[in-house]
Amino acid sequence: MMKAFILKIWGVAIGLFLSIGLYSQDTAGQDKWIGHVYDGTSLSSWNYVGYYEESETFSESFGGNNKWLSCTSLSGSSTGTYTERFSVRYRMQSSKVGCYRVNLRGDDGIRLKVDGRLVFSRWVPQSATSYNNLLINLSGSSNLIYEFFENNGKNVVAFTSLVKLNRITSANEITQCPISNIQTEITANFLSDATSSISTTYIWQYREGAGNWKDVTAYNTETRCKISDIYNDTYSQKIFYFRRRVNYSQSARWGVGSKNYIDESAVVKVIVPALVKTNPMVSVK
């Protein structure tokens, strides 16, 4: 009898361990948020309630103050808490690459970490307040943690308007005539899209095949790269690549230090076909 009881308890323990191992307080969503919910404002693991999901960008008011927030426990059962004194730790792994700007909003406190670095912090009681044009840098596998607490009254948390700042607007692959003096033009968005709170400097670059990147010295502007000496005088195809390299910076604000990131645009492939061989005339007697 005792042996059966021990085996039963051991089985429950193993089941709980597997449940937590597969879906724990550290679980992040892939390009979406897993919101881990806690009673109280301290995000204490001892007060863990359960989790729910939000899309990559969201604005949440939880139906108003003192409403029931439904969650799922780690064991898979339905649970929840009232939205008066609670906190949420949102986790997401993002597949995005490059510099982005994002708008945040909180009532009460909010703070954001990207790959372990604190990039925004207004961890204070406050009425619903918007913080726009925060600069963040994503690696393609970045881990984001967005934390929120509510301390009575209305409640709002938002992560919206996630926009990539360095964007190519022309085709990503261009075929050009092999002869010289044909102008290649690559276009991109205005860097002023980054807003006045984010400063930028840029340079256009190109390389041939697997060679090294070189700065474009021909005519170019913020939104256009024009170069006329990309041509082919051989009987083999040539391939060139272009990109815009941008340095972004944002001064210290919102509880964190200054940010400086280098961002490279998507690469544009320019194909220059080989010259066509012509057959000599053959005389017939």
State what percent of residues in the chain have pLDDT above 70.
89
In a domain, 57, yes or no: yes
Residue 24 vs residue 153, higher pLDDT: 24
In a domain, 74, yes or no: yes
Which residues, 6 or more positions from 53, have their beta carbon under 8 angstroms from its beta carbon? 29, 32, 33, 34, 35
Q: Quote the DSSP letter at residue 253.
A: B
Angstrom distance (rounded) from CA 100 to CA 111: 17
pLDDT at residue 144, as a whole number: 98
Same domain, yes or no, for 211 and 160?
Answer: no
pLDDT at residue 34, as a whole number: 98
pLDDT in tens, 217-260: 888 899 999 887 788 888 899 999 999 999 999 999 999 999 99
Token code pair at residue 259: 């940010």
Amino acid at 189: N
244 touches 265 (CB < 8 A): yes
Same domain, yes or no, for 87 and 105?
Answer: yes
pLDDT at residue 13, as a whole number: 44
How does residue 280 score in pLDDT terms, banded at 50, 70 and 90? low
Residue 6 vs residue 199, higher pLDDT: 199
Same domain, yes or no, for 148 and 177?
Answer: no
pLDDT at residue 18, as a whole number: 37
Same domain, yes or no, for 182 and 81?
Answer: no
Q: Give me the chain's average pLDDT, please.
A: 89
Task: Indicate the residue among 105, 131, 164 that finishes a domain.
Answer: 164
215 touches 261 (CB < 8 A): no
How does residue 5 score in pLDDT terms, banded at 50, 70 and 90? very low
Residue 268 region by backbone torsions, left for phi larger than 0, else alpha for psi between -120 and 50, else beta: beta
In a domain, 10, yes or no: no
- Scored b (16 or more CB within 10 A) or e, 31-54 reads ebbbbbbbbebebeeeebbbbbeb
Same domain, yes or no, for 217 and 258?
Answer: yes
Same domain, yes or no, for 85 and 215?
Answer: no
Same domain, yes or no, for 48 and 134?
Answer: yes
pLDDT at residue 227, as a whole number: 81
pLDDT at residue 279, as a whole number: 61
In a domain, 279, yes or no: no
In a domain, 235, yes or no: yes
Angstrom distance (rounded) from CA 23 to CA 136: 27
pLDDT in tens, 55-83: 999 999 999 888 999 999 999 999 999 99
Same domain, yes or no, for 109 and 47?
Answer: yes
124 touches 140 (CB < 8 A): no
Angstrom distance (rounded) from CA 17 to CA 10: 10
pLDDT at residue 281, as a whole number: 56
In a domain, 3, yes or no: no
Q: Is the per-residue pLDDT at 23 higher than 80?
A: no
In a domain, 282, yes or no: no
Residue from 217, 221, 247 nearest 230 by CA: 217
Q: Is the per-residue pLDDT at 184 higher than 60?
A: yes
Q: Is the per-residue pLDDT at 141 higher than 50?
A: yes
Angstrom distance (rounded) from CA 60 to CA 54: 9
Q: Is the per-residue pLDDT at 17 higher than 60?
A: no
pLDDT at residue 51, as a whole number: 97
Structural domain of 180: 173-272
pLDDT at residue 229, as a whole number: 77
Q: How many domains does the chain have?
A: 2
Task: Indicate the residue among 105, 133, 164 that finishes a domain.
Answer: 164
3-state DSSP call for residue 2? helix
Same domain, yes or no, for 138 and 61?
Answer: yes
121 touches 104 (CB < 8 A): no
Same domain, yes or no, for 187 and 111?
Answer: no
Same domain, yes or no, for 216 and 249?
Answer: yes
pLDDT in tens, 144-158: 999 999 998 889 999
Task: Indicate the residue among 164, 181, 199 that finishes a domain.
Answer: 164
